[in-house]
Amino acid sequence: MNLLARYLLKEILAACSFVFLGLVLLFFFFDLASELSRMGRGGYGFGHVTLFVLLSVPGHIYEIVPIAALIGSLFALSRLVMNSELSVMLASGVSNWRIAQILVLGGLIFALFAFAIGELVSPWSEQAAQNVKLRATESVVAQSFRSGLWVKDGNTFINAREVLPDAGLRGLRVYEFNDDWELSSIVAADKGVWLSKQQWEITGVSDTKLTSEGISLTRQNSRNWKSVLNPDILSVLLIAPEKMAMPALVNYIQHLRENKQKTTRYEAALWSKLFYPLAIPVIMLLALPFAFNSPRSGSISVKVFLGILAGLAFHLSNRLFAYVGLLNDWPPFITAAAPSLVFLAIALFALKRLEAR
């Protein structure tokens, strides 16, 4: 990499990092202001509010990387254009396509950063944030229906009236059917605690067997219970699929397929997790034609504003395609890839127009 390329990459990365830090602080204060209005519910004090907001930061980081990369690139390139530095680079033999390659390289650096945050940090921090809030407010994780949570596991249907923040279960009912789909047993338990390797410890157990000979009932203080249900599956209740780690998504999709349940929502989230980081170099390419547009007229603030609009358009198009794809049952791959491909086509067309000028 020559001196000009290193200088250009350094300017772009520095501007993107500055914008990125500003956006993170902005979201932090917005979240803090929002959560302060909920302070006082149960034991939800200022310490819990601060911890919840801090744990929510990695999720915001993952979401704003593309917008910060676009705005930062646009700011850096616009400043170089207004100072005639890019004109000197072009006069020295650096082509627009070479500058585009440097932008893509910077985008790949941010893509790796976003991937690491989205896979290693954000899923854990989002779940921890929700646990902090639920414990402090003495709330349950979710109640999908009035009767609680329902999960299908082969010929077994599991019902838990409450799912606790530590992934414990309360008010557990397990309905088991035979191959002819006739009810064969009902296990009721007051509470279930996860052990490991598909094993739960359930307490206050009543086991009702239904056979051709009659009905029998046995009671136990506690016993082990084996089930495909585990904390990874229950974590789906805590955080949105788009914020889950890919291994957890793959496991949950496999569980749904084994039980012949619809997987489109989670497959779309999985493909979105794959394409989202790759969209960062694509959206950064848009900064080049924006920056060169009328280099002597218009301030940097106007171009940054246009960059913000472009970044918001990308973010909203991602959401729009996701919802429309789910409504129309489009293939998840197309739903996740479409926004990036559309913006890539726009960027390449704009770069071609710029080169032809």
122 and 199 share a domain? no
Question: Among candidates 166, 139, 132, which has minimal Cα distance to 42?
Answer: 139
Per-residue pLDDT reduced to its tens digit, 140-176: 555 555 677 888 877 888 888 887 766 788 889 999 9
Kindly tell me if the per-residue pLDDT of 305 is higher than 60: yes
Of 208, 230, 252, which one is at a domain's C-terminal end?
A: 230
User: What span, in angstroms and rounded, lies between the C-alpha atoms of 41 and 51?
Assistant: 16
The percent of residues above 90 in pLDDT, for the chain, comes to 16
Strands (DSSP E) along the chain, which ranges? 149-153, 156-163, 169-177, 183-196, 199-211, 214-226
pLDDT at residue number 121? 92
**Residue 143 falls within a domain, yes or no?**
no
Question: Among candidates 202, 233, 235, 238, which has minimal Cα distance to 220?
Answer: 202
32 and 134 share a domain? yes
pLDDT at residue number 241? 83
Give the structural domain span for 283: 3-138+263-356
Kindly tell me if the per-residue pLDDT of 224 is higher than 80: yes
Q: Where are the alpha helices (DSSP H) in 147-296?
A: 231-234, 246-258, 264-285, 287-292
pLDDT confidence bin for 205, thresholds 50/70/90: very high
Per-residue pLDDT reduced to its tens digit, 19-46: 999 999 999 999 998 888 878 777 788 8
Which of 70-74, 179-183, 237-241, 269-273 comes out lowest in average pLDDT?
Answer: 237-241
267 and 130 share a domain? yes
DSSP string across 9-44: HHHHHHHHHHHHHHHHHHHHHHHHHHHHTTTTSTT-
Which one has a higher pLDDT value, 331 or 292? 331
User: What span, in angstroms and rounded, lies between the C-alpha atoms of 123 and 35?
Assistant: 20
154 and 220 share a domain? yes
Please name the helix (run of DSSP H) or strand (run of DSSP E) that holds residue 241, with its range, or none.
none
pLDDT at residue number 189? 93
Buried b (16+ CB within 10 A) or exposed e, 29-41: eebbeebeeeeee
User: What span, in angstroms and rounded, lies between the C-alpha atoms of 60 and 19?
Assistant: 14
Sequence-distant (≥ 6) Cβ neighbours of residue 141 within 8 angstroms: 130, 134, 162, 163, 164, 165, 234, 237, 238
26 and 59 share a domain? yes
209 and 317 share a domain? no
Per-residue pLDDT reduced to its tens digit, 65-74: 988 888 888 8
Mean local confidence (pLDDT), 2-14: 86
Which of 8-17, 20-29, 252-261 comes out lowest in average pLDDT?
Answer: 252-261
pLDDT at residue number 297? 46
116 and 199 share a domain? no
User: What span, in angstroms and rounded, lies between the C-alpha atoms of 250 and 186?
Assistant: 30
Kindly tell me if the per-residue pLDDT of 247 is higher than 70: yes
Kindly tell me if the per-residue pLDDT of 59 is higher than 50: yes
pLDDT at residue number 140? 59
User: What span, in angstroms and rounded, lies between the C-alpha atoms of 184 and 214?
Assistant: 11
**Residue 314 falls within a domain, yes or no?**
yes
* The 199-211 sheet, strands edge to edge: 149-153, 156-163, 169-177, 183-196, 199-211, 214-226
124 and 175 share a domain? no
Mean local confidence (pLDDT), 246-255: 86
38 and 63 share a domain? yes
Domains held by the chain: number? 2
Distance between the two ends of the chain, CA-based, in angstroms?
27
**Residue 240 falls within a domain, yes or no?**
no
pLDDT at residue number 238? 66
Sign, Cα dihedral of 197, 254, 233, 35: positive
Per-residue pLDDT reduced to its tens digit, 307-332: 678 777 887 888 888 888 888 888 88
Of 209, 230, 251, which one is at a domain's C-terminal end?
A: 230
pLDDT at residue number 55? 92
267 and 343 share a domain? yes
Residue 298 is classified by DSSP as: S
Average pLDDT of the chain to the nearest whole number? 83
Mean local confidence (pLDDT), 269-293: 85
pLDDT at residue number 295? 46
CA 217 from centre of chain: 46
310 and 343 share a domain? yes
**Residue 315 falls within a domain, yes or no?**
yes
Per-residue pLDDT reduced to its tens digit, 96-138: 788 888 888 999 999 999 999 999 999 889 888 887 887 777 6
pLDDT at residue number 294? 47
325 and 289 share a domain? yes
